[in-house]
Structure 1
Amino acid sequence: MATCIGETDFPPYVIKCMNDTHFLVAGGGGESKTGVPNALEIFEVELGSSGIAIQSKCRFNTDNGDDQSAIMNAALRYDGKEYLMAASKNERCQMYQMNKTVKSLIAQTMGRDDEEKEEKGKESKEDEVTLRKRKKKSSESNGKKKSGAPPGRQLVHFDVKRLQSVQTDFSPTDSSQNAVCFSPNGMYFVTGGVDGHIRMWTYPTIEKVYDIEAHSKDIEDIMISPLGNKLITISRDQKAYVWNTKDGSKMCELEWEECADHKSYRFGSCRYAFLNGDVSNSTMFTTHTPHIQKKGRQPSYITKWNSHKFTIDKTVCTGDDILSALAVSHSGYYVGVGTMSGSVGIYVTFSLQKVKWVDNAHSIFITGLSFIPMTRNSRRVVGDKDAAVLSLSADKKIGLVTVTRSGEYPAFLMFLGVLILIMLIFTLFAYFGMDF
């Protein structure tokens, strides 16, 4: 089952893992004037006395003057020094910069000890050394007793700064940016929205590179390939195209005819996965949902594509629940989906074999998924797992779903195995007429 590790006080629509223990959430009540805030909040996943929980590290009000819209979609990148987020604010793309600061609690404690010693100035040099050692040991011992934190614990904080914005959608009615994606090198980003145009922009100068009328209806998702040379667009016109990012020329259309009623389906989302950081070894995934709601069974699908030939490798049915979210793990081994009923599923990228499905992980539709990078730090918190995905929903709750590592088995399976073994032993003893 899914674990609820926290919640927000605003409807969340965006979730992005920043590193192995921190993630951001964005959303809000929009312009409804109901008192529900529009905000961006950064959390840390930690292991407390009562289990896995989250702690807020930074909160930023995203309202800006007359603009009181909520962030509905965003792209995040890290250049090794700071985080940059491009977020939708109605018809505009708003840039945010997030800087991480780290302070050592032990260093602060030692600094205070040194100041105290200088003020006293009466002990001999030998006594000062002895006193410093005693205080350091005492400080570390007290810290362990109070918080359980190891020596060298760090205090992390984030500062958020609002940067420039640019209008990216020009629909005469209900204009809105629906999708945004950074290039792998961070030198440009691409936007799409209600007017069906894709627009490429330079960063940080925010100059338009090209503007292409790509679709006849709203663009719903955009994804740039790991090598940065191809761009995928998905639209409500039931089309999905591949573009050359250099000049904006159309390369091909994605053809999907994987079910008998395929003409009544449309593309939902698109994501790339690449194994262990090898961008040349990438695979593409798309979701497919009914375009028109009908009575009776209407399953959804997830498809794996050859990212070089753009041919279909495999398609699997995920059930009758409409898919609402898609994400891939940082290792490239897992792909996750969220549904309109609030369920979460995890599949192996190689075979699209389902390894985990949690019904009703949330009480309402999933708005976003993000895999936690599995490192030594993250495994200290979530356990020795193969994968861990954070789920976000309109119910304002943040969930966690994990995948058990190979060779690790749930307690009930171990109990069942022991029970079967005991029954076999009894059967053998009875067969040979042996008494206990």
Structure 2
Amino acid sequence: MSSTEGKIVSIKYPIFGIDWKRDAQGQPFIAVAGGGGAVKSGIKNCVTLARASPPTAAGGHEPPSLDPFLVIDTKDALVSGVAIGSKGGLLAVTIGNKTAIYRATSGDSPTSSFVVEFQTDFAEKDSYQNVVKFSPDGEALITGGEDGIIRLWILTIPPSKSEVDIDDKYRDAFQVSEPILLEGHNGCINDLSWHPSSAKVVSCAKDGQCLVWASINGTWKKAASMPLAGELNVQKPDKAKNRGKFVYRGCQFVPLPSSSAGKKNSDEKDVIVTVQTPARGSSYLSKWTCVLDNRGRCTVDEIYSIPVKDTIVCSLAVSAMHVASGSSDGQVVVHSIDSLSHVSTTAAHFLPSTGIAFFPFDTDEAPGPLDFTNALTLVSASADYSVYLISGIKPSPYYWFFLLALVACYLVVFFGFDS
């Protein structure tokens, strides 16, 4: 199976957000967000939409690259996050304490149009939106920021007669509801993740909490609280080395098999992956199960927890098979979902990883020319202006040592018997 790995430096601005989804035609594309801010630095603030080509079956030794097909210029407004929706060609971008929604089309003549902008964080000091995520069904947004309140926004997306049909009538018909408030945190929201059914959310914040929320008969409420950050047994041996308060830095629902992804009440246990970090020291990955009962309460159990030694994780992404975490020193560390066993470590950037996105596999369709085939395929972004692509696993030095040892043993045995 062909593999490829390498740094892509064609983006000409610091990158603060990245996502990898499919367009209306089912073609995968990457959204890269960032810029130089309001200062007249000459560095553009924008979102770049691009394709990434998989390695060829013949070898795959060419360095990876991005093929941009559309750039959304946000002028003086720095874009610090981006999310791709599954309906209507929508993109949600973080601009200060607001979400701005754009509609993008691909095809022969790609276009983008501004749809709406609205404030999502209302902290009295340093108001800022830190996370924005579309629901898997594409019909809602969830946001979180400095004021610690999670806001869930229901979207009314009007039908469009053509891909390029966006005008004032479309904007007038596009509706964003008053937010549903999910209140339970007392600090800036660090991460949010939707359940594949769009009926549950997991959140974590700087207050050391990780909470599960569920929609029960149309009403959203808190369903579970995980143990406070810093209370894992696996952290006790490192107590003398770790410095500062522990927080949940990231939290993600593990994607369900495609056959049950859209079911609101699946018999399968939900699986959540979290990462906890102190100010200095080691990070800790944990795998949890979460079972929702008929009363809307979740029972959460810790399955595995492992240390990521001497590493501060600052970005997290989860696929059905792997967990990828980006560190403050630019490494991308990959573990398996099953047992959290180590898979690979890659020195991807010279500044912290600001976001990771896995390839959006679609098991219902035959692979197309832009589809990667390796189960481990991801991109990591950084403020060092780079995107790093990993597809497949390179053999480790131990593999080559083992192979040479086998060859040596074969030669000794062969020539020994021959003499």
Q: Same fold (TM over 0.5)?
A: yes
Tell me whether 1:69 sits opposite 2:77 in the alignment.
yes
| Secondary structure class of the residue paired with 1:270 | strand
For the residue of structure 2 that corresponds to 1:352, the secondary structure is coil
- Specify the SS of the correspondent of 1:423: helix
Q: Give distance in 2, aligned partners of 1:378 and 1:347.
A: 27
Q: Which amino acid aligns with 2:378?
A: V
The one-letter amino acid paired with 1:333 is: M
Give the match for residue 92 of structure 2: 86
**Counterparts of 2:370 and 2:44 in 1: how far apart (Å)?**
33
Preserved contact between residue 374 and residue 388 of structure 1 (Cα < 8 Å): no
1:354 to 342, 345, 356: 342
The answer to whether the Cα contact below 8 Å between 1:83 and 1:98 also exists between their aligned partners in 2 is yes
| Aligned pair partner of 2:148 in 196, 204, 209 | 196
Residue 207 (structure 1) aligned to one of 177, 181, 194: 177
Provide the rounded CA distance (Å) in 1 between the counterparts of 2:123 and 2:403.
65
Q: Does structure 2 retain, via aligned residues, the 8 Å contact 1:72–1:88?
A: yes
Question: Following TM superposition, by how much is the alpha carbon of 1:361 offset from its aligned partner in structure 2, in angstroms?
Answer: 1.3
Is 1:178 matched with 2:130?
yes
Aligned to 2:249: 268
SS at the partner of 2:257? helix
Q: 1:386 aligns with which of 372, 375, 397?
A: 375
Q: Does 1:30 align with 2:37?
A: yes
2:68 corresponds to: 56
CA change 1:411–1:253 in 2 (3 A) is: closer
Give the match for residue 304 of structure 2.
Answer: 314
1:248 to 215, 220, 224: 220
Unaligned runs of 5+ residues in structure 1 are: 103-156
Change (3 A) 1:415 1:305: closer
Counterpart of 2:100 in structure 1: which amino acid?
Q
Partner of 1:366: 353
Does the CA contact (< 8 Å) of 2:205 and 2:248 recur in 1? yes
2:206 aligned residue (236, 242, 246) = 236
Given the alignment, which residue of 309, 331, 341 partners 2:329? Answer: 341
Partners of 1:237 and 1:195 lie apart in 2 by 11
Whether the aligned pair in 1 keeps the contact of 2:6 and 2:63 (CA below 8 Å) is no
- Deviation, 1:173, is 1.8
Question: Aligned partners of 2:415, 2:126: CA distance in 1, in Å?
Answer: 77
CA positional deviation for 1:421: 4.0
**Partners in 2 of 1:399 and 1:192 — Cα distance?**
27
- Tell which structure's C-alpha radius of gyration is larger: 1
Q: Does 1:303 align with 2:298?
A: no
Determine whether 1:397 maps to 2:386: yes
Q: Distance in 1 between matches of 2:71 and 2:155?
A: 25
User: Secondary structure of 1:276's partner?
Assistant: coil
Shift of 1:94: 0.7
CA deviation map 1:120-153 (0-9, x unaligned)? xxxxxxxxxxxxxxxxxxxxxxxxxxxxxxxxxx
User: How many percent of aligned residue pairs carry the same amino acid?
Assistant: 24
Deviation at 1:186, TM superposition (A): 2.5
Deviation at 1:269, TM superposition (A): 1.0
For 1:424, the equivalent position in structure 2 comes to 409
Contact kept, 8 Å, 2:143 with 2:150, in 1: the verdict is yes
**Offset, 1:206:** 0.9
Distance 1:333 1:339, change over 3 A: same
Alpha-carbon displacement from aligned partner over 1:387-409 (angstroms, at most 9, x marks no partner): 111111111011112334xxxx8
Equivalent pairs counted in the alignment come to: 361
**Alignment CA distance shift 1:381-1:217 (3 Å):** closer
Q: Unpaired runs of 5+ in structure 2?
A: 157-174, 292-298
CA deviation vs aligned residue, 1:95-136 (integer Å, no higher than 9, x gap): 11111224xxxxxxxxxxxxxxxxxxxxxxxxxxxxxxxxxx
Q: CA deviation at 1:365?
A: 0.5
The residue type paired with residue 304 of structure 1 is K
CA-atom RMSD in angstroms: 2.7
